[in-house]
Amino acid sequence: MPLYDFECNACGARFEAQTPAGAQPPACDTCASPDTRRVFSTFALWKINKTPGERRRNEAERRDFKERKREEHRREQRKGDA
């Protein structure tokens, strides 16, 4: 069974528990409240946070590429005129 991180909505405690996929979150380790939710690992958060920056960089690269292509095209047209 996979090991997941959970956070208690009642007391804020964090705990790990093994639950089958699709099962209800387990009760809190500290206060036994059933009001818990699954939290994603720091690694997963790091990956999510990293994505927008990468997307921006990819867009900038794509824009550079398009500019370069346009410049090449202009140069070739000029060559044709001469």
| Interacting residues with Zn ion (CB under 5 A) | 8, 10-11, 13, 28, 30-31, 33
Instruction: Return the number of the residue (12 or 18) whose C-beta is nearest Zn ion.
Output: 12
Instruction: Return the number of the residue (33 or 41) whose C-beta is nearest Zn ion.
Output: 33
Residues 9, 15, 18, 24, Cα dihedral to 10°: -10
User: Least distance (Å) from Zn ion to the CB of residue 8?
Assistant: 3
User: Least distance (Å) from Zn ion to the CB of residue 34?
Assistant: 10
Instruction: Return the number of the residue (14 or 62) whose C-beta is nearest Zn ion.
Output: 14
User: Least distance (Å) from Zn ion to the CB of residue 17?
Assistant: 12
CA separation for the pair 71, 75 (Å, rounded): 6
